[in-house]
């Protein structure tokens, strides 16, 4: 049994991340490579700014929100981060969510779905990779870059990708499945 966690990194009102994350969830369901899919919206999770007294590598969590977050992240075999680009980087909310934990992330692959304007969120994705690597995660090469993301949203804020975006998502999900299986013995 394999579990994919999709993490929507933007928390601001009016964000595009949730519709994109919902599309990733649907695409992963159609793909069929994972038995369970957990769409995690960091806006709903509402983690306070890091408030644990112990270093995350010790896994001695004192707050219920951290224990719940650790269980959710620890249960996943692979991740997809849906990244907005703010000021040429990733959001503070996703950095905070990552920093809460340590061991739960290790030896798991991560796919990146980035979006924005002309840059398609690529600067956020590139800035995020060293953070993932420092936690012994494997950011896979295949990702999804969505330029001018607003063109894919309808009036109800439903994200409808073009063929190139769909093809990229399938390639990313294929690789996440491969890497997830290959890294199992290290977890």
| Residue linked to tokens 């999900």 | 173
CA angle 73, 146, 108 (to 5 degrees): 25
From the centroid of its chain, how far is CA 28?
Answer: 13
Residue 173: pLDDT band by 50, 70, 90 thresholds? Answer: very high
Model pTM score: 0.97
78 forms beta bridges with 4
Residue 81 pLDDT: 98
82 forms beta bridges with 8, 113
Residue 65: pLDDT band by 50, 70, 90 thresholds? Answer: very high
| pLDDT of 1 higher than 90 | no
Tell me the CA distances in angstroms from 84 to 75, 129, 144, one per residue in order: 25, 14, 12
Residue 123: pLDDT band by 50, 70, 90 thresholds? Answer: very high
């Amino acid at each position: 049994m394999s579990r994919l966690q999709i993490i929507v990194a933007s928390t601001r009102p009016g964000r595009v991340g949730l519709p994109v994350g919902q599309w990733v969830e649907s695409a992963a369901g159609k793909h069929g490579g994972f038995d369970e899919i957990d769409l995690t919206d960091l806006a709903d999770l509402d983690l306070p700014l890091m408030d644990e007294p112990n270093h995350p590598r010790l896994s001695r969590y004192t707050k219920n929100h951290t224990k719940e977050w650790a269980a959710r992240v620890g249960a996943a075999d692979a991740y997809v981060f849906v990244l907005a680009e703010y000021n040429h980087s990733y959001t503070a909310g996703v950095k905070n969510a990552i920093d809460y934990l340590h061991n739960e992330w290790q030896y798991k692959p991560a796919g990146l779905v980035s979006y924005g304007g002309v840059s398609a969120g690529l600067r956020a994705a590139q800035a995020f990779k060293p953070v993932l690597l420092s936690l012994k995660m494997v950011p896979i090469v295949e990702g999804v870059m969505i330029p001018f993301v607003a063109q894919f949203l309808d009036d109800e804020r439903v994200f409808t990708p073009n063929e190139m975006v769909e093809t990229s998502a399938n390639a990313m999900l294929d690789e996440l499945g491969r890497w997830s299986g290959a890294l199992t013995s290290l977890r």
